[in-house]
Amino acid sequence: MTGASEHRAGFIALLGRPNVGKSTLMNALVGAKIAITTDRPETTRKAIRGILTTPDAQLIFVDTPGVHRPRTLLGQRLNDTVSQVMAEVDVIAVCFPADEKIGPGDRRIVASLAQWPRAARVAVVTKTDTVRREALAPKLVEVDRLTEWTDVVPVSAEAGSQLGELTEVLSQLLPRSPELYPAGQRAEETPEEHIAELLREALISELSAELPHSVAVVVEEMSPREERPGLVDVHASVYVERSSQKAIIIGRAGARLRQSGTRAREQIEAYLGKRVYLDVRVKVAREWQTSPKELGRLGF
Ligand SMILES: Nc1nc2c(ncn2[C@@H]2O[C@H](COP(=O)(O)OP(=O)(O)OP(=O)(O)O)[C@@H](O)[C@H]2O)c(=O)[nH]1
Ligand SMILES: [Mg+2]
C-alpha cells in the first residue's frame, strides 16, 4: 500500500480496429465479464468502463467500438464515440493483434493519435498465444516503428499472459490521484444495459455474416416476481432492420430464438445470481442503422 499522495488513478482507453481483442483484454485485466465479446467485428457499440482497483492505483479502462470505415450512420456514430473518449483519457492503449498484418486501418488509427497529444500512448500486441515465439519479435519491432510509444507490451488475454506487466506499465502513466470509484465497483453500466448486451451476444453467436450488425437489444422492463421470491422477470425487445431478418432470428418454429434465449438466460442468471424468466420480442425498426430517428430511440 502506498501513501495517499503516491496513489494513482485515471482513465485508459482501449483503441483499435474491430475484432482485435479490446473487450476481451479489458475483461481479463479487470477480472470480470464487463463487455461482451464475439468473433464478429463491430461487437462493441458503446464506450464501456471497466474498473481495476489495486493497492497502488485505480485503472479505469474505457473499451471502445472498433474504428472502421463507416458504411452506415451507426458506424459514423460509433467512430464519433471513440473520438470523444480519446479526448478525455490519460492513456491511449492501441491494440494490434499478433496474428494479423499491420494494415491501412491500423495506420489511420496511429495517425489519428496526433489529435490527442495530452494522452500517453502505449501499443499493445494482443493474442500472442496465436503466434510462435519467433514471429512475435518482428511483430513487436513493426509495431514499435509505427510512432513514438511510451511502451510496447505483448499480451494474451486468452492465456492470461503479461496482464500484470501491462497493468504495471499503465498504472505508472496515470496521474497521482485518490480513487475515483469505490474500491468494490468494477463496472458502470446499469443491470438493464448489461443484460441487453448479454442477450445481444447470445443472438450474435447464433447468426452468420452481416446479420449481427442489424441487431439491437433493449431491456424494456425487469422486475422481481412477487409470488416467486428469487425469480426475476426480464422483458427484452430485439430490433432488426427488416421482416426477413426477423424470420431468421426466430428460426424454424422458433428454434433459433429459443436457443439464443436459453444461452442468454444462463448468463443473466449467473450475473444476477437469481433465477430469470426471459421474455424476448423481436421487432422491426426499419433500417435503424441509417435512420437518425431510430438510432436516437435506440440510444445512439
Ligand atoms: N486466441 C486469442 N483470441 C483472442 C484473444 N483476445 C481476443 N480474442 C478473440 O478475438 C475475437 C474478438 O475479440 P473482442 O474482444 O470481441 O474484440 P474487440 O476488439 O473488442 O472487437 P470489437 O468490439 O468488434 O471492436 C474473439 O473471438 C476473441 O475470443 C487472445 O488473447 N487470444
Ligand atoms: Mg469489443
Q: What is the pLDDT of residues 238-282, one digit of tens each?
A: 999 999 999 999 999 999 999 999 999 999 999 999 999 999 999
Full residue range of the structural domain in which residue 14 is found: 4-172
DSSP SS3 for 90 = coil
- Specify the pLDDT at position 3: 63
Give, in degrees to the nearest 5, the angle at Cα 153 between 180 and 194.
Answer: 45
Whether 111 is covered by a domain: the verdict is yes
DSSP SS3 for 211 = helix
Ligand in nearest proximity to the CA of 22: 1
Whether 179 is covered by a domain: the verdict is no
Number of domains in the chain: 2
Atom of ligand 1 nearest to the CA of 130: 1
C-alpha torsion 42→30→165→18, nearest 10: 0
Cβ of 50 below 6 Å from ligand 1 = no
Do 162 and 195 fall into the same domain? no
Whether 146 is covered by a domain: the verdict is yes
Mean pLDDT over residues 106-132, rounded? 98
Atom of ligand 1 nearest to the CA of 156: 31
Whether 47 is covered by a domain: the verdict is yes
Do 14 and 64 fall into the same domain? yes
Residue nearest to atom 32 of ligand 1 (CA): 127
Whether 182 is covered by a domain: the verdict is no
pLDDT tens digits for 144-193? 999 999 999 999 999 999 999 999 999 999 999 999 999 999 999 999 99
57-63/8-15 β-pairing: parallel
Do 238 and 207 fall into the same domain? yes
Q: Of 172, 203, 228, which closes a domain?
A: 172
Whether 184 is covered by a domain: the verdict is no
Please state, in angstroms and rounded to a whole number, the distance separating the CA atoms of residues 20 and 251: 30
Whether 143 is covered by a domain: the verdict is yes
- The enclosing domain of 243 has a CATH number of 3.30.300.20
- The enclosing domain of 44 has a CATH number of 3.40.50.300
81 Cα to the center of ligand 2, angstroms = 13
Instruction: Label residue 208 by pLDDT band (50, 70, 90).
Output: confident
Atom of ligand 1 nearest to the CA of 27: 15
Cβ of 39 below 6 Å from ligand 1 = yes
Mean pLDDT over residues 97-114, rounded? 98
If one counts every other C-beta atom within 10 angstroms of the C-beta of residue 257, the result is: 20
Q: Is the pLDDT of residue 27 over 60?
A: yes
Residue nearest to atom 4 of ligand 1 (CA): 127
Do 167 and 24 fall into the same domain? yes
The CA distances from residue 222 to 31, 68, 234, 269, 279, in Å, are 26, 34, 5, 13, 10
Mean pLDDT over residues 277-293, rounded? 97
Cβ of 260 below 6 Å from ligand 1 = no
Do 285 and 139 fall into the same domain? no
Do 70 and 163 fall into the same domain? yes
Atom of ligand 1 nearest to the CA of 18: 25
Whether 152 is covered by a domain: the verdict is yes
150 Cα to the center of ligand 2, angstroms = 24
Of the candidates 252, 215, 251, 221, the one whose C-alpha atom is nearest the C-alpha of residue 236 is 221
Do 200 and 146 fall into the same domain? no
Do 144 and 274 fall into the same domain? no
Do 168 and 198 fall into the same domain? no
Do 145 and 289 fall into the same domain? no
Pocket test for ligand 1, best of 14, 15, 19, 99 (most atoms within 8 A of CB): 19
pLDDT tens digits for 43-99? 999 999 999 999 999 999 999 999 999 999 999 999 999 999 999 999 999 999 999
Do 215 and 168 fall into the same domain? no
What secondary structure, in 3-state letters, does 226-248 show? CCCCCEEEEEEEEEECCHHHHHH
Instruction: Label residue 114 by pLDDT band (50, 70, 90).
Output: very high
CB 10 within 8 A of CB 177: yes
Q: Is the pLDDT of residue 222 over 60?
A: yes
Cβ of 64 below 6 Å from ligand 1 = no
- Specify the pLDDT at position 5: 77
